[in-house]
Amino acid sequence: MVDPTFTDIRGKQYETVDSRVRRFRADHPTDAITTEVVHIDDASVLCKATVMIDGNLVATGVAEEMRGSSNINQTSAVENCETSAVGRALGFAGYDAAGSIASADEVARAISQQPSSQSGNSPSPAPRQVISSGGGGGDVLPEGTRTVTLAGPVEKEDIKKKDGTGTFAKFKFQSTCGYWFETMKKDVANKIEMARRDEKDVSFEHDAGAYKSHKIKPWTVEAVEPGEPAEEPESKPDAEAVLGQPIPF
């Protein structure tokens, strides 16, 4: 029998993925944990893990990682995603000695990807302007920082190059008040769409409107909870506040 290994995170114990794997191997040396990459592109990776015992499917687990969301995902998003999927599959198979499907690795990674504190020397960003109602009607806005609620999914538009050599993609979405925003970056579009599916608003900076649309500055995009107060500096939470947030799984 192999004893589980735990990691303490904010006063709660979580079992590590390698602990779950070692315990599974000790209990079922001839059985299998299989993995597959369900989806992969330049923006994200989705993996699925399956636990088989005596030839029977016992449990599955899935995980998704966004490329560039952390230092490790810039180089090893696939490996990172596979480990998370294995940890969740084993958790569903009963290897959850701490009483949590999420492993210590998964929880620690989720916390590390939340906004961290900034140095006190950083200038305060421009005040956030919330747009959730009113008559945009497709008009243009001056350059600024805004929080919007999406009126629908992010749309992809293929545009022909002027030299006729092919096409390039533009991603756009409409806010609930009628204003349109766009980005050329697929990973940013995916991040915005994920926020919409999670029923969150999106905060970002954008250029002055042109042709009834506004170009997003991709490095400023952030998913936020609906109804956050307007006209407050968009300051990052300190480390204590970040670690104190509940884990979303």
Per-residue pLDDT tens over the stretch 115-136: 544 434 444 444 444 443 334 4
Strand locations in 91-236 (E)? 129-131, 144-148, 155-160, 167-174, 180-183, 201-206, 214-215, 222-224
pLDDT of residue 78: 94
Q: Which two tokens stand for residue 239?
A: 């480390």
What is the SS3 string spanning 99-137? CCCCCHHHHHHHHHCCCCCCCCCCCCCCCCEEECCCCCC
pLDDT of residue 211: 60
Grade residue 86 by pLDDT with cuts at 50, 70 and 90.
Answer: very high
Taking the C-alpha atoms of residue 171 and residue 156, their distance in angstroms, rounded to an integer, is: 5
Q: Are 161 and 170 in contact (CB under 8 A)?
A: no
pLDDT of residue 249: 46
Q: Are 214 and 141 in contact (CB under 8 A)?
A: yes
- Match 């079922």 to its residue by tokens: 28
Grade residue 102 by pLDDT with cuts at 50, 70 and 90.
Answer: confident
Q: Are 5 and 18 in contact (CB under 8 A)?
A: yes
Q: Which two tokens stand for residue 35?
A: 């993995």
Grade residue 47 by pLDDT with cuts at 50, 70 and 90.
Answer: very high
- Is the confidence at residue 33, as pLDDT, over 50? yes
pLDDT of residue 212: 66
Taking the C-alpha atoms of residue 91 and residue 103, their distance in angstroms, rounded to an integer, is: 8
- Is the confidence at residue 245, as pLDDT, over 70? no
The predicted-structure confidence for 193-233, as pLDDT tens digits, reads as follows 888 888 888 899 888 766 667 888 888 899 888 865 433 33
Q: Which two tokens stand for residue 153?
A: 């999914």
129-232 in CATH: which number? Answer: 2.40.50
pLDDT of residue 98: 85
- Is the confidence at residue 167, as pLDDT, over 90? no
What is the domain partition of the chain in residue ranges?
A: 6-117, 129-232
Q: Which two tokens stand for residue 21?
A: 């794997």
Checking phi first, is residue 212 left (phi over 0); if not, alpha (psi -120 to 50) or beta? left
The overall average pLDDT reported for the chain is 79
